[in-house]
Amino acid sequence: MTIKYEEIHRDVIESCMKGDVRAQYQLYSLYSKAMYNICYRMTGQQEEAEDMLQESFSYAFRKLGSFRFESSFGAWLKRIVVNTCINHLKKRKVDLVYTDQHNDPAPDDDFVDYGEIRLRAEGVMKAMGKLSQGYRIVFSLYLLEGYDHKEISEIMGISESTSKSQFLRAKQKIKEILMSHE
Protein backbone atom coordinates (compact mmCIF):
# COMPACT_ATOMS: atom_id res chain seq x y z
CA MET A 1 0.00 0.00 0.00
CA THR A 2 1.44 3.36 -1.03
CA ILE A 3 1.03 6.32 1.28
CA LYS A 4 -0.39 9.39 -0.47
CA TYR A 5 0.90 12.75 0.66
CA GLU A 6 -1.59 15.52 1.26
CA GLU A 7 0.30 18.12 -0.69
CA ILE A 8 -0.03 21.72 0.51
CA HIS A 9 0.12 22.93 -3.10
CA ARG A 10 -1.94 20.11 -4.58
CA ASP A 11 -4.41 22.42 -6.34
CA VAL A 12 -1.57 24.35 -8.01
CA ILE A 13 0.17 21.13 -9.06
CA GLU A 14 -3.03 19.70 -10.50
CA SER A 15 -3.62 22.94 -12.44
CA CYS A 16 -0.08 22.67 -13.81
CA MET A 17 -0.81 19.12 -14.91
CA LYS A 18 -3.66 20.53 -16.97
CA GLY A 19 -1.29 23.00 -18.66
CA ASP A 20 -2.24 26.15 -16.74
CA VAL A 21 0.65 28.56 -17.38
CA ARG A 22 -0.27 30.79 -14.42
CA ALA A 23 -0.15 27.77 -12.12
CA GLN A 24 3.26 26.85 -13.54
CA TYR A 25 4.50 30.35 -12.74
CA GLN A 26 3.04 30.08 -9.23
CA LEU A 27 4.71 26.71 -8.66
CA TYR A 28 7.99 28.11 -9.99
CA SER A 29 7.67 31.08 -7.61
CA LEU A 30 7.05 28.79 -4.65
CA TYR A 31 10.07 26.54 -5.21
CA SER A 32 12.60 28.38 -7.37
CA LYS A 33 14.61 30.07 -4.60
CA ALA A 34 15.20 26.87 -2.64
CA MET A 35 16.02 24.92 -5.80
CA TYR A 36 18.36 27.68 -7.04
CA ASN A 37 20.27 27.44 -3.76
CA ILE A 38 20.79 23.72 -4.35
CA CYS A 39 21.98 24.41 -7.91
CA TYR A 40 24.35 27.12 -6.73
CA ARG A 41 25.83 24.98 -3.96
CA MET A 42 26.44 22.16 -6.42
CA THR A 43 27.81 24.15 -9.36
CA GLY A 44 29.44 27.03 -7.48
CA GLN A 45 28.65 29.46 -10.30
CA GLN A 46 25.66 31.78 -10.63
CA GLU A 47 25.17 31.38 -14.38
CA GLU A 48 25.40 27.59 -14.27
CA ALA A 49 23.05 27.49 -11.29
CA GLU A 50 20.50 29.57 -13.19
CA ASP A 51 20.80 27.29 -16.23
CA MET A 52 20.41 24.16 -14.09
CA LEU A 53 17.38 25.67 -12.36
CA GLN A 54 15.67 26.37 -15.69
CA GLU A 55 16.56 22.94 -17.04
CA SER A 56 15.24 21.28 -13.88
CA PHE A 57 11.92 23.12 -13.97
CA SER A 58 11.50 22.47 -17.70
CA TYR A 59 12.05 18.76 -17.09
CA ALA A 60 9.74 18.77 -14.04
CA PHE A 61 6.92 20.46 -15.97
CA ARG A 62 7.32 17.96 -18.84
CA LYS A 63 7.22 15.03 -16.40
CA LEU A 64 4.60 16.43 -14.02
CA GLY A 65 2.14 13.79 -15.18
CA SER A 66 4.36 11.15 -13.54
CA PHE A 67 4.09 12.86 -10.13
CA ARG A 68 1.65 10.76 -8.09
CA PHE A 69 1.65 12.55 -4.72
CA GLU A 70 3.51 9.61 -3.18
CA SER A 71 6.12 12.04 -1.81
CA SER A 72 6.04 15.75 -1.32
CA PHE A 73 6.37 17.81 -4.49
CA GLY A 74 9.41 19.54 -2.98
CA ALA A 75 11.20 16.22 -2.45
CA TRP A 76 10.34 15.10 -6.00
CA LEU A 77 11.57 18.37 -7.48
CA LYS A 78 14.72 18.36 -5.32
CA ARG A 79 15.63 14.94 -6.69
CA ILE A 80 15.22 16.28 -10.25
CA VAL A 81 17.39 19.32 -9.42
CA VAL A 82 20.15 17.23 -7.83
CA ASN A 83 20.16 14.77 -10.74
CA THR A 84 20.18 17.60 -13.29
CA CYS A 85 23.20 19.18 -11.60
CA ILE A 86 25.02 15.86 -11.25
CA ASN A 87 24.42 15.03 -14.93
CA HIS A 88 25.61 18.48 -15.97
CA LEU A 89 28.77 18.15 -13.91
CA LYS A 90 29.41 14.66 -15.27
CA LYS A 91 29.10 16.01 -18.80
CA ARG A 92 31.77 18.54 -17.92
CA LYS A 93 33.82 15.54 -16.81
CA VAL A 94 34.38 16.73 -13.28
CA ASP A 95 37.30 14.77 -11.91
CA LEU A 96 36.75 13.80 -8.33
CA VAL A 97 39.83 13.35 -6.23
CA TYR A 98 39.41 9.74 -5.24
CA THR A 99 40.91 9.44 -1.81
CA ASP A 100 40.61 5.69 -1.37
CA GLN A 101 44.25 5.51 -2.44
CA HIS A 102 45.42 8.05 0.16
CA ASN A 103 46.23 7.47 3.78
CA ASP A 104 43.44 9.21 5.61
CA PRO A 105 43.97 10.37 9.18
CA ALA A 106 42.41 8.33 11.92
CA PRO A 107 39.01 9.69 12.96
CA ASP A 108 40.44 10.93 16.30
CA ASP A 109 43.00 13.04 14.38
CA ASP A 110 40.12 14.83 12.67
CA PHE A 111 38.60 16.18 15.90
CA VAL A 112 37.85 19.88 15.71
CA ASP A 113 36.57 22.04 18.54
CA TYR A 114 34.07 24.09 16.56
CA GLY A 115 33.22 26.03 19.70
CA GLU A 116 36.39 28.07 19.13
CA ILE A 117 35.62 28.84 15.49
CA ARG A 118 32.86 31.27 14.68
CA LEU A 119 31.07 29.72 11.77
CA ARG A 120 28.94 32.11 9.83
CA ALA A 121 26.78 30.90 7.00
CA GLU A 122 28.28 33.44 4.62
CA GLY A 123 31.82 32.40 5.50
CA VAL A 124 31.02 28.73 5.03
CA MET A 125 29.37 29.42 1.67
CA LYS A 126 32.41 31.40 0.51
CA ALA A 127 34.67 28.60 1.72
CA MET A 128 32.55 26.06 -0.15
CA GLY A 129 33.14 28.09 -3.30
CA LYS A 130 36.86 27.46 -2.89
CA LEU A 131 36.47 23.68 -2.75
CA SER A 132 37.10 21.46 -5.74
CA GLN A 133 33.82 20.46 -7.37
CA GLY A 134 34.08 16.88 -6.13
CA TYR A 135 34.45 18.00 -2.53
CA ARG A 136 31.73 20.65 -2.90
CA ILE A 137 29.21 18.21 -4.37
CA VAL A 138 29.67 15.56 -1.67
CA PHE A 139 29.74 18.19 1.09
CA SER A 140 26.57 19.82 -0.25
CA LEU A 141 24.67 16.57 -0.78
CA TYR A 142 25.59 15.20 2.65
CA LEU A 143 25.49 18.19 4.95
CA LEU A 144 23.11 20.58 3.23
CA GLU A 145 20.76 18.33 1.27
CA GLY A 146 20.59 15.48 3.79
CA TYR A 147 21.63 12.55 1.63
CA ASP A 148 23.52 9.74 3.35
CA HIS A 149 26.79 8.37 2.01
CA LYS A 150 25.11 5.33 0.47
CA GLU A 151 22.76 7.56 -1.54
CA ILE A 152 25.63 9.84 -2.55
CA SER A 153 27.67 6.86 -3.70
CA GLU A 154 24.78 5.74 -5.92
CA ILE A 155 24.16 9.24 -7.32
CA MET A 156 27.85 9.93 -7.99
CA GLY A 157 28.90 6.45 -9.03
CA ILE A 158 31.57 6.27 -6.33
CA SER A 159 32.08 3.98 -3.36
CA GLU A 160 30.51 4.77 -0.02
CA SER A 161 33.97 5.04 1.57
CA THR A 162 35.00 7.54 -1.12
CA SER A 163 31.94 9.63 -0.31
CA LYS A 164 32.84 9.59 3.39
CA SER A 165 36.44 10.46 2.63
CA GLN A 166 35.45 13.28 0.27
CA PHE A 167 33.17 14.71 2.96
CA LEU A 168 35.86 14.56 5.66
CA ARG A 169 38.41 16.21 3.38
CA ALA A 170 35.91 18.90 2.35
CA LYS A 171 35.12 19.59 6.01
CA GLN A 172 38.84 19.82 6.81
CA LYS A 173 39.45 22.16 3.86
CA ILE A 174 36.58 24.42 4.91
CA LYS A 175 37.99 24.52 8.44
CA GLU A 176 41.41 25.51 7.05
CA ILE A 177 39.90 28.23 4.87
CA LEU A 178 37.86 29.64 7.76
CA MET A 179 40.82 29.58 10.15
CA SER A 180 43.07 31.33 7.63
CA HIS A 181 40.61 34.23 7.42
CA GLU A 182 40.36 34.86 11.18
Give residue 29's pLDDT band: very low, low, confident or very high (50, 70, 90): very high
The per-residue pLDDT for range 92-110, each reduced to its tens digit, is 764 444 444 444 444 444 5
Alpha-carbon span 160 to 162, nearest angstrom: 5
User: Of 32-41, 91-100, 110-119, 137-146, which range is least confident?
Assistant: 110-119
Q: What is the pLDDT of residue 108?
A: 47
Q: Span 10-91: which CATH code?
A: 1.10.1740.10
Domain boundaries, the chain: 10-91, 99-180
Per-residue confidence (pLDDT) for residue 182, from 0 to 100: 59
State residue 76's pLDDT score: 92
Beta carbons of 133 and 88 less than 8 angstroms apart: no
119-124, long-range: CB < 8 A, 24+ apart: 119/178, 123/178, 123/181, 124/174, 124/178
CATH 1.10.10.10 fits domain 99-180:
yes
pLDDT band at 5, cuts 50/70/90?
Answer: low
